[in-house]
Structure 1
């Protein structure tokens, strides 16, 4: 019998089993936290737009619309929340909120 270096079939199967168990444990946790991550990104975007609204109000002495913020280069574009499920609204007092998009 030769003493060849390498892995046996049993060793490879054990390695595959360990990797499979790690994936089975990891993937559900990532999927579960995906919604929470998207909500945090939306909250951060709302705060950023609120800061731009306040800056616009200081500069121009009026409450802007999203179109005003984009045309005056306070924002690059109206993307809504990063996850795409909510759009950004600015009320008559300059308060920014995220509301669910309606499909019409």
Structure 2
């Protein structure tokens, strides 16, 4: 009987668990909005990089062909993908002060 009484289990109380959950939820509420802002910044940086790639592909297209490079011609020729065209258009939609080098 004495062995059974000595063997008690130590556990967390309900209040301690609620405090921990409260702290975790506050931390999540602080960090989730910052992560979404970073996602937008990463997308903008990626679109800027795609603009450079499309410009490079336009120069290569101009070397291989006699006509001027457009997004439609490069897409049909396989130099760029539709995702790159969309990212190129999105970049210049947000940056209206910059001049496009390649026509649609």
Please give the TM-score of this superposition, normalised by the length of structure 1.
0.66
Q: Which residue of 2 aligns with 1:42?
A: 47
Q: How does 1:93-104 map to 2 (within 5 A)?
A: 95-96=101-102
Query: Based on CA coordinates, which of the two structures has the bigger radius of gyration?
Result: 2
Note the C-alpha offset of 1:76: 2.2
Asked if residue 59 in structure 1 is aligned to residue 75 in structure 2, the reply is: no
The answer for the alignment partner of 2:96 in structure 1 is: none
CA distance in 1, matches of 2:66, 2:40: 37
Unaligned 5+ segments in structure 1 are 89-93, 98-104
Aligned to 2:29: 24
Q: Count matched residues.
A: 91
Does 1 or 2 have the higher relative contact order (CA < 8 Å, sep 6+)? 2
